[in-house]
Amino acid sequence: MELITKFRELKAMAKQRLGARTGNRRLAAEGRTETAEARLLRTRDKIKATARKIRREFRSSR
């Protein structure tokens, strides 16, 4: 899942840069929005991974 999130972030950054270079403000804004979404998804994935790790440690300590 992390690979998909990273790909989304790279795509969004490319869109943002392309919009900035061509002067297309709408494309640049879409890129910024998609970059933020990708970062949120990456954070969500990290939180889920940490929760799984904590659950495994808790179950093994019982």
1 pLDDT band, cuts 50/70/90, is low
Residue by residue, DSSP assigns 22-61 as HT-HHHHHHHHHHHHHHHHHHHHHHHHHHHHHHHHHHHHH
**Residue 2, pLDDT above cutoff 80:** no
* CA atoms within a 13 Å half-sphere pointing along the CA-CB vector of 59: 6
pLDDT at 49 over 80: yes
* Model pTM score: 0.77
